[in-house]
Amino acid sequence: MYYSIIGILAIVIHMIINRDMLWHNDSHTDVPARREYRDYLFGMLAFCFTDVLWGFFNEYHLVIPLYIDTVAFFITMTAGFLFWTRYVVAYLQGHKILKGIVSAAGIFVFLCEIVFLIVNFFVPIQFWIDESGIYHAGSARYITLALQVLLFVMVSIYTFVAKSKSKLAARRLRCTIGLSAVSMAALIVVQMFYPMLPLYSMGFLLCSCLLHSFVVEDEKEDQRKRLEEMLTREKEQTRELGSAKKKIYTDPLTGVKNKQAYMEYEEKLNADIRGGTAVNLAVAVFDVNDLKSVNDNLGHDTGDIYICSASMLISEFFCHSEVYRIGGDEFAVILEGEDFDNREELLAAFEHQATENQRTGKVVVASGMADLINGSDRKIRDVFERADKQMYRRKHELKAMRRQEASVNG
């Protein structure tokens, strides 16, 4: 039974090392010529199964089962060979004529085997089983094996020649395919002289292990690296897109959000209001006092510094909300969450600071705020206009306070 043991081991090893290729046809792993390689694996398994049965039937000299299994043996053998040639042709990139010859030769060997087996029913040219259940090889068997050896040698020569013109990784893979062909050819030659040895199963096993270890696994690793590179590029593009988007929505002078960002967020909130999903929010509007006077008397560079100081002041107080510069000296803040909950305290503290700044000669910013009234306000602009009116009242109040202080000091 040692003959069958080799076939059993070959089946087990095939199923272990190729489990993902055999049972997961829709695997995400992108292996070149995957379908052809999978067909080749199933062909090998079918051959090894018939080889195991052949050893059993031959051991017990079961004439009829042995004859039937021997026919299946030769069919699956040449079918596996055909699938191997299809895989090599699909995997290797090279001269179309040579690839066509390899493909045609595989079909030719398979068809020859079918013809030999049909003739063998009438004239034992491939094999025969005597009355004692002893297997005898015919001349056609040697022709079939010789044709396979010839084609294996031809493929190996092609791969060794073609590898010199390929990149380093491709050369290594082509060399592996060439070595598998040489190994298979060598074992078939020995099989010709020792038909009772399971050398063809051993050759299929060695060929499969070489292809899996040095071709399929390398292709998987290359694919993994390509996926990592794609993910890296995608992350870089995302960062670049985020950076570009940030530039589009950022005011270049102050670093806060610009009018475009405000308008887009306003549209989003308007949609929430129309859909009845608007949350509690308030709009605060700010205007920088005396910017024209600063520009006229001290220059626009100083005016820019004045605007930046105002932006920093607003951002300092309303640190949990986005600050938008919506005009030359106008800012807006949409208060949500924590800033909305503390809006009255924040506005009172900001107004107190504005009053103190006016007394000490620092940047003065007028402010006004209004809450969204659900069911009444139809858009954010309604809230903005109420806040804007309050801001102007505060602006006049600050100017009145300055005139009063000037009058007292004068």
CA 336 to each of CA 161, 210, 250, 265: distance values in angstroms, whole numbers, following the listed order? 71, 64, 20, 13
Higher pLDDT, 334 or 200: 334
Residue 240's pLDDT is 59
Residues of the chain with pLDDT > 90: what percent?
A: 38
What pLDDT band is residue 27 in, cutting at 50, 70 and 90?
Answer: very low
Name 333's bridge partners.
284, 323
Work out the number of other CB atoms within 10 angstroms of the CB of residue 407: 8
pLDDT value, residue 63? 92
**Distance (Å, whole) CA 148 – CA 209:** 20
Task: Provide the CATH topology of domain 2-232.
Answer: Rhopdopsin 7-helix transmembrane proteins (1.20.1070)
From 236, 201, 234, 235, select the one nearest 3 (Cα to Cα).
Answer: 201
Q: What is the CATH number of domain 259-409?
A: 3.30.70.270
Dist CA 259 CA 213 (whole Å): 60
Task: Write a three-state SS string for 329-381.
Answer: CEEEEEECHHHHHCHHHHHHHHHHHHHHHHHHCCCCEEEEEEECCCCCCCCHH
Question: What mean pLDDT comes out for the span 322-335?
Answer: 93
Structure tokens at 344: 């009255």
Asked whether 87 and 18 are in contact (CB, 8 A), the reply is: no
Tokens 């491939």, located at residue: 126
Range 97-116 burial, b when 16+ CB lie within 10 A, else e: ebbebbbebbeebbeebeeb
Question: Residue 257 pairs with which residues in a beta bridge?
Answer: 250, 324
136-175 pLDDT per residue, tens: 999 999 999 999 898 888 877 777 666 544 454 556 667 7
* Residues 63-120 pLDDT 10s: 999 999 999 999 999 998 888 888 877 776 556 777 778 788 889 999 999 999 999 9
Alpha helix ranges (H) inside 92-167: 96-120, 139-163
* Residue 247, pLDDT above cutoff 90: no
Residue 161 and residue 155 in contact, taking contact as beta carbons nearer than 8 Å: no
Q: How many CB atoms lie within 10 A of CB 201?
A: 28
Q: In whole angstroms, give the CA distance from residue 260 to residue 84.
A: 63
pLDDT of residue 218: 59
Do residues 372 and 280 touch, judged by C-beta distance below 8 A? yes
Per DSSP bridges, beta strands 127-129 and 135-137 are antiparallel
pTM recorded for the entire structure? 0.54
What are the extents of the domains in the chain? 2-232, 259-409
CA distance 157 to 88: 13
pLDDT tens for 371-409 read 999 888 889 999 999 999 999 999 999 988 888 876 766
| pLDDT-based confidence at residue 122 (cuts at 50, 70, 90) | very high
Q: What pLDDT shows up at residue 282?
A: 94
